[in-house]
Amino acid sequence: MSDLADLVERQCNFILRREEPAQFLVEVPAFIHSLSREPRLATYIQDLRRDYDALASEYAVHDDALVADLVAIRNEFVEVAPEADDSDAEQEVDPAGFPRHEWDWTLANFDRIASDEASGRPQVEDPTRSGAMIGILHAKVENVRHPWERIEGTRERTVADQRPELKDLARRLGNLGRKHEHFLQSIRFRARTSPAVALLRLESIEEAINPAPAVIETDEDTRAYLEWAMRFALSPGRVLAKAVQGERLDRAGKDVLDNAITQHRTDVERLGEELRRLVGTTASRLALIHRFKHRAEWHDRDRLVEVAQKSGGKMEDRLTAELARFLFDQGLSPITRPLLGRLEPDLLDPSVRPSFYVEAKQYVDGANAKRNLVRAVAQVHDTVGTLCGSPFECREAFVVIFRRGGPRYSLPEALPGDGWTTHLVLVDIADIKEQGSRARKKPVQLHASDFLD
């Protein structure tokens, strides 16, 4: 695994040495593509994208919990202040055909957001539906309790509460608003230190410096493109694009560019450190399994054969128990055959994240050995796939195969899965007569295609 860590180290060092902002930005997409071309690193990068999706999905969970409460407060509000009910307001457009923003603050928009037909006013700092709904409802309640009035030629809110009967409702709305802000702040803190968010920010650079061309076929496409162009012209992405194209930046643009470059350099460092950690974690786990293999073959062969031949119980279970005891002595806490729903993995350590999953198999002769090995891998893929998204999710699975006789199989080191990798390790405890020059059967080479369609 050290070759992977070295690859990540070299790539990170190379891009961080690019001092010129434009050159650094141009190199970022190549940096991501280079890492993604390595199959094992590509698995880790895909895992990080899953982590980002999981973080983003927390917004949906939060909204589901808050939207119902906000709708209840909205309905109570219009009962007490029916004059503020503008839920039948229609969205108007200006002469250029763009929607007027006044409609954004109506209960009509509130109801549309609540029905999940739209995401509300897009805000980078608050992408939730509930955030937009709180803003609308707070403005409506405030306008009723403290309406605007002319005081000595100025427009100010009335100090006295004109609708004290709404005080309790406003207090409950404020509680929801603070709860919402606490949620957002916790997500922001996690995002600032998240390698998954760092990855997504780096991946967004390619689209910023070279946006995909718009395909315009209808008037609606034209309006959508103009809206996008207006937003992009005011976004940090436009500054990055101008820097790459060598356009002159004003002072404000230079500040935006400096802040973006600082952030993205930190992103490169954070992503590189996480990839090295993931490589090291896999290496250390794989090293443990290989250490067990070497101990079994060099020092424990006779004892393990004796254990396997004992009467009572299944041979595989006794060999699995030996592996479990070894892993426990190395500081892990493996559980033998835990029942997870309808699944029953041979060994699982749920105390570490991601979980440490091991499946153990054995064979004595070549009659059905290959077929059983293929079935074992299929079983592992089915089990690990089912664990995805659960608290016991695995990123690597280890299939330990005890050879007690029959042909010696030369196995692929790793098999790709849907977001995980399966490592195959052969532990050869066959009789000495089946070893080396005295082996009666030729080794059999198996390839990844033998296990995966």
For position 315, what pLDDT does the model report? 82
Tokens of 29: 């997409």
Q: Name the residue type at position 98.
A: F
Q: What secondary structure letter does DSSP report for 414?
A: E
For position 284, what pLDDT does the model report? 74
Per-residue confidence band for 197, with pLDDT thresholds at 50, 70 and 90: very high
Between 266 and 415, residue with greater pLDDT = 266
Q: N- to C-terminal Cα distance for the chain?
A: 26
Q: How many C-beta atoms lie closer than 10 Å to residue 270's C-beta? A: 20
Per-residue confidence band for 153, with pLDDT thresholds at 50, 70 and 90: low
CATH 3.40.1350 in the chain: give the residue spans: 300-451
Residue 156, pLDDT > 80, answer no
Per-residue pLDDT tens digits for 309-366: 887 668 888 888 888 888 888 777 888 877 766 667 788 887 777 788 888 888 887 7
Q: Which residues, 6 or more positions from 385, have their beta carbon under 8 angstroms from its beta carbon?
A: 417, 418
For position 440, what pLDDT does the model report? 61
For position 120, what pLDDT does the model report? 44
3-state secondary structure of 306: helix
Q: Rounded to 10 degrees, what is the CA torsion of 355, 282, 415, 4?
A: 150
Q: Rounded to 10 degrees, what is the CA torsion of 260, 265, 267, 269?
A: -170
Residue 300, pLDDT > 50, answer yes
% of the chain at pLDDT higher than 70: 91
3-state secondary structure of 416: strand
Q: How far apart are CA 175 and CA 138, in angstroms?
A: 12
pTM value surpassing 0.75: no
Residue 176, pLDDT > 90, answer yes
Average pLDDT, the chain: 85
Mean local confidence (pLDDT), 390-412: 86
Radius of gyration, alpha carbons of the chain: 31
Q: Name the residue type at position 343.
A: L
Q: Which has the closest alpha carbon to 113: 77, 63, 158? A: 63
Q: Which has the closest alpha carbon to 380: 411, 420, 332, 336? A: 420
Contact indicator for 404, 435 with CB cutoff of 8 Å: no
Residue 121, pLDDT > 70, answer no
CATH 3.40.1350 is right for the domain spanning 300-451: yes
For position 58, what pLDDT does the model report? 84
Q: Which has the closest alpha carbon to 364: 322, 315, 295, 310? A: 315
Which of 66-75, 187-196, 432-441 holds the top average pLDDT?
Answer: 66-75
Q: Which residues, 6 or more positions from 144, have their beta carbon under 8 angstroms from its beta carbon?
A: 81, 83, 84, 162, 163, 166
Q: What's the helix, strand, coil split of the chain in %, to 5?
A: 60, 10, 30
Per-residue pLDDT tens digits for 85-99: 999 988 776 666 656
Per-residue pLDDT tens digits for 208-254: 999 888 889 998 888 888 888 887 887 888 999 999 999 999 999 99
